[in-house]
């Protein structure tokens, strides 16, 4: 059996990253162009366009695609897409750029020229409408909403040529991977069914349990770590990686797991982000996406299983990659092991509810972590990280993190 095809009508990866002499020539040209500065979110999106993670997109979306994606989760050509991929700038800069002009795309933090874009359209959007559709809220406390509301007044659209992957290949050597690389690795392992496990947290016992269920069903599991920006209080990627490596080394059968990373910031869009995760995991070669409780959620903005339900609301042919829906999982003292709502008959008092938020809160406040919460090798790495922090971030609990 072959791996799932990439997303889109052509079923072919569409990387937009230039290499060799072509890249050199485009970079020289880019130095002469008007510079449009990008936020870290926009930079991450550009890199995903570059490596083919956002196949079949050819650049930042125009108004019709933006509107179609917000309202119907599909682009103007009918391609399924759940979250707008857009680039914004100030009105002053937009007015100075002519349609048809090429611009250089620069990462605002590093100052590096990341790519070029031929501007085919300039348009304004109703930011609140995007937030309502994508995040189901306009509350400025929601980190995804805050980012959209902080965007420039005008969106620029057009095809891009990508010149750099930024810090990711060097800083996350051996973890950061392009879709063509993961597909090759899966084929070499003889895997045709692969379940992706999305994580922005170190893995606790529930995560371990979810991935082991997937190993029973699929040829292998791809633990796919987010390497871009998080919200304050989340655990950085290098610490996460060490914790995940320790878990795999000690608690998994050899060659059932592969670990990789991707360059996006979290949007915390809950159900819509779960769909985006499935879209680009299809490009990476994964047949399934593990969707547990509160996937890509934040606070109490989404119900615990909204991200599972949304897969039943989209057209059947929208995605080849399918969700692997798994119920609320926990450690049950009476069952004497990991269990889920579907397998455990005991009461709430017998259960240790596990969540990344709860674990971060206990560690940041120096609380004793129950031994069944996480493996000792993982806890040792996390304790060392929290002890090294000079500034503590308050971790707010939400009701689903506590079993509410």
Encode pLDDT of 251-284 as tens digits.
999 999 999 999 999 999 999 999 999 999 999 9
Examine the domain organization and report whether 247 and 388 are in the same domain.
yes
Judge whether 283 and 13 are in contact, CB under 8 Å: yes
> Would strands 102-107 and 34-38 be described as parallel, antiparallel, or unpaired?
parallel
Range of the domain at 42: 20-165
Closest CA to 324 of 232, 148, 179, 195: 195
Catalytic site residue from 178, 183, 200, 281: 200
- What pLDDT is attached to residue 389? 85
> Would strands 154-162 and 113-118 be described as parallel, antiparallel, or unpaired?
antiparallel
Judge whether 59 and 158 are in contact, CB under 8 Å: yes
Judge whether 183 and 223 are in contact, CB under 8 Å: no
Name the stretches of the chain with pLDDT < 70.
392-404
Domain-embedded: residue 15: no
- What pLDDT is attached to residue 396? 62
Examine the domain organization and report whether 197 and 154 are in the same domain.
no
Non-local (6+) Cβ contacts of 298 within 8 A are 142, 143, 144, 231, 268, 270
Examine the domain organization and report whether 198 and 106 are in the same domain.
no
Question: Which stretches does DSSP call E strand in 200-350?
Answer: 220-226, 257-262, 288-291, 322-325, 329-332, 337-340
**pLDDT tens digits for range 195-206:** 999 998 888 999
- What pLDDT is attached to residue 399? 54
Examine the domain organization and report whether 229 and 343 are in the same domain.
yes
- What pLDDT is attached to residue 360? 83
First to last CA, the chain: 42
- What pLDDT is attached to residue 401? 46
- What pLDDT is attached to residue 134? 98
201 is annotated as an active-site residue: yes
pTM beyond 0.85 = yes
C-alpha to C-alpha distance for 61 and 74, rounded to whole angstroms? 12
Q: Total domain count for the chain?
A: 2
CA atoms within 13 A on the CB side of 173: 2
Tell me what the pLDDT averaged over the chain comes to: 94
Examine the domain organization and report whether 158 and 184 are in the same domain.
no
- What pLDDT is attached to residue 350? 97
Quick one: CA dihedral 227, 88, 79, 49, positive or negative?
Answer: negative
Catalytic site residue from 155, 178, 201, 272: 201
What ranges in 235-342 are assigned the alpha helix state H? 237-251, 271-284, 306-309
- What pLDDT is attached to residue 354? 82
Examine the domain organization and report whether 142 and 212 are in the same domain.
no
Residue count (the chain): 404
Examine the domain organization and report whether 72 and 146 are in the same domain.
yes
Domain closes at, from 127, 147, 165: 165
Query: Which strands, in side-by-side order, build the sheet including 322-325?
Result: 257-262, 220-226, 194-199, 288-291, 322-325
- What pLDDT is attached to residue 232? 74
């Amino acid at each position: 059996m072959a791996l799932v095809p990439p997303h889109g009508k052509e079923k072919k990866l569409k990387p937009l990253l230039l290499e060799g002499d072509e890249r050199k020539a485009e970079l020289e040209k880019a130095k002469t162009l008007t510079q449009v500065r990008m936020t870290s979110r926009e930079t991450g999106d550009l890199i995903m366009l570059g490596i083919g993670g956002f196949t079949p997109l050819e650049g930042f979306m125009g108004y019709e695609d933006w509107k179609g994606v917000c309202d119907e989760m599909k682009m103007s050509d009918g391609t399924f897409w759940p979250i707008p991929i857009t680039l914004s700038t100030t009105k002053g800069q937009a007015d100075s750029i002519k349609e048809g002009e090429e611009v250089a795309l620069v990462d605002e933090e590093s100052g590096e020229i990341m790519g070029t874009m031929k501007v085919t359209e300039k348009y304004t959007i109703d930011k609140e409408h995007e937030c309502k559709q994508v995040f189901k809220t306009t509350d400025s406390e929601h980190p995804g909403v805050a980012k959209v509301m902080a965007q420039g007044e005008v969106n620029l659209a057009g095809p891009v040529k990508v010149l750099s992957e930024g810090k990711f290949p060097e800083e996350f050597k051996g973890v950061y991977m392009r879709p063509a690389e993961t597909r090759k690795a899966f084929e070499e392992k003889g895997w045709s069914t692969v379940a992706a496990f999305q994580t922005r947290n170190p893995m606790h016992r529930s995560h371990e349990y979810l991935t082991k269920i997937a190993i029973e069903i699929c040829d292998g599991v791809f633990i796919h770590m987010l390497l871009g920006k998080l919200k304050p209080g989340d655990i950085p990627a290098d610490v996460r990686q060490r914790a995940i490596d320790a878990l795999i080394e000690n608690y998994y059968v050899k060659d059932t797991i592969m670990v990789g990373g991707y360059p996006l910031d979290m949007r915390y869009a809950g159900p819509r982000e779960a769909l985006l995760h499935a879209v680009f995991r299809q490009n990476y070669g994964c047949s399934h996406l593990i969707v547990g409780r509160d996937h890509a959620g934040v606070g109490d903005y989404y119900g615990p299983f909204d991200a599972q339900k949304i897969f039943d609301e989209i057209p059947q042919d929208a995605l080849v990659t399918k969700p692997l829906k798994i119920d609320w999982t926990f450690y049950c003292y009476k069952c004497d092991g990991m269990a889920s709502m579907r397998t455990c008959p005991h009461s709430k008092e017998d259960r240790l509810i596990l969540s990344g938020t709860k674990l971060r809160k206990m560690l940041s406040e120096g609380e004793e972590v129950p031994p069944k919460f996480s493996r000792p090798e993982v806890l040792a790495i996390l304790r060392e990280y929290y002890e090294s922090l000079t500034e503590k971030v308050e971790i707010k609990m939400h009701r689903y993190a506590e079993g509410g």
